[in-house]
Homo-oligomer: A and B are copies of this chain.
Amino acid sequence: MKNTKKLTGIAVAGLTLAAGFAAAAPKPEDSVEYRQGVLFAMGWNVGEMGAMVKGDAPFDAQRFAFLAERTAKLSPMVLEGFRPDSKGAKSHARSRLWDNMDDFEKRMKTLEEATQKLATVAQGGDEGAMKKQFGETVQVCKKCHDEYREKM
Contacts and interface: CB of A to CB of B under 8 A. Distances in A.
> Do most interface residues of chain A lie in helix, strand or loop, or is the interface mixed?
helix
Interface string A95-139: 000000000000000000000000000000000100110110011
Contacts of A7: 135
A12 B43 CA distance: 10
B135 A53 contact: no
Interface string A1-43: 1001101110111111111111110100010011011111101
Contacts of A53: 5, 8-9, 12
B1 A142 contact: no
Nearest to A142: B11
Q: Name which of A1, A20, A22, A54 has the most chain B CB atoms within 10 A of its CB.
A: A54
A18 B144 CA distance: 13
